[in-house]
Structure 1
Amino acid sequence: MFKKVLIVTVLLVTFASSASANTLYEVKKGDTLTKIAKINKVAVNDLRTWNKLKKDSIYVKQKLIVKKPTVATKTTTNVVSNNSKIIVTNKPKQETVVPPVQVKDEQLTIAPNAVQAMNLSTEGQAMYSFIVDFAKHLEGIPYLYAGNTMAGFDCSGFIYFIHSQAGLDITRQSSDSYFTQTANVVVPVIGDLVFFENTYKQGISHMGVYLGENKFIHAGSKGVEVASLESSYWKEHFVSFNRFNSLTVR
């Protein structure tokens, strides 16, 4: 009998630096980009690049990235399951990239239910640790439709930003498009994605990052915040926990 073979590519990443209070700087009265650059011993140009600033004007309580995340090492692990055994092979120089899938806003996408993502290894969760830590430091940044910078985020823009700042090669897409590039996770770990449907539109319409203990962080209408999956609203619209099929380091 033919058996389906599942291949899930997981990127194992070890970061030279982790998110900390020193990664972000909250603008105070009297601050300028030049002053902030001097305090943090970085170039003004770097501040513009890291924060995607088109001009030098900043505002009080704005949060700026003042330390660029760096990647130390990377390897790619292919996990192959034939329902009876698991074989793990390390291929440090080979990477698998899943091409972006374009999905129209009005389309309802269906999760690849036949595909169950494997649990990440300890090394693989190093990537998640950074992403979750960094995401928590962005709490309070306002909601901005189509936003994907420190000026404001929408839900998918937030996911794009925290993953790209972790050094991962990810394109800016909608939540339903990200959904098609992920596999369902039966037992989620901290750092996995969480998807919701029928919030402001039909179909997959919202996403966040799982924090454990039935909590997740997301860019909602009130800005970046931690919410509970136990609340009646999110419980009603919950779809699944998911994990990217593959991501590579830039």
Structure 2
Amino acid sequence: MRRVIFTLVAATALSMAIGASNTEASTYTVKPGDTLWKIASSNKVSVDQLLSWNKLPSTSIHPNQTIKVAATSATAPPKNTGTKAPVISTSIYTVKAGDTLSQIARIHSTNVSSIQKLNQLPDSNIRPGQKLTVSGKAQANTPTVTKPNTYRVTSGDTLTTIAKRHGVSVSQLMSSNSLKTSSIRLGQVLIIDGSSATGQLVTVSKPTTTAPSSGAISTVIAIANSSLGTPYKWGGAAPGGFDCSGFIYYAYNQAGFNVPRTSTTGFDAISSPVSSPQIGDLVFFKNTYRAGISHMGIFIGNNSFIHAGGDRVQVTSLNDSYWGSHFDSFQRLNVTK
């Protein structure tokens, strides 16, 4: 009899221990340096599942926060019926300083191309505070071109942004659509081409494709080209990742120039404007993610520049509608080897 009682007690204790172990295994206490993506990867779940199980409004977490890392009976997903569940809602993410499209795409288990389509982004450039749709149906959130020469107004559009996107002026849009004011409404269809030739990108200047003035500048260009594809990293100034000013700092210093690690405004302060830029001169842009000088690259000829922008180091044409509209100046660094 005692043996039976002992067996029952032991079995009960073992059952309780297993239950406690399962409960502990279903939660995780956030440590300094953790991210929701890192926690999801460690527990072989998705970020979206963590957001859902913990009812988190965003991917922001803090040390000592307790996170559910497994579904409970109340949050367990419905059984698979053999049919794919339709997308019934969208998810909005607010860009933080240091974010890149590739990071945001990875966190939300999507890709850069999908986010660009959902938000009608002309390139990979984003700014802190910007709200991005990161999931849902593109056709429900993307501005729609109904005909080759028309455009349907979507949420957040202004006549100015539409004009820049299509390479036309606000006055052309107003004239083509007989608008008396710049007010537009959601769903309104606008004629883009009008009576004049429009939609063509305008070169912001006519720089000469002058060869590098020295072998050292040729080295700068070679180093810059060897960095193509390197990921964008806020504050980065090494081959593992660059921001725009860190990229300039790295390329010039590796070529033997004594260049300080400074910001875009710092580089602007130690440079002089030039009207006929040479290969290796700097290109400055203004009013991108903040007011004033806010981005820079290296002029490489053929009206193009190489820069750490969007999610990587890349070559972009100055004829690009976005960069052309934010162009500020060509300048030459006042530094020596």
TM-score w.r.t. the length of structure 1 is 0.49
Structure with larger Rg: 2
Q: Please identify which structure carries the higher helix content.
A: 2
Q: Quick check: which one's strand share is greater?
A: 1
Report the TM-score, using the length of structure 2 for normalisation: 0.37
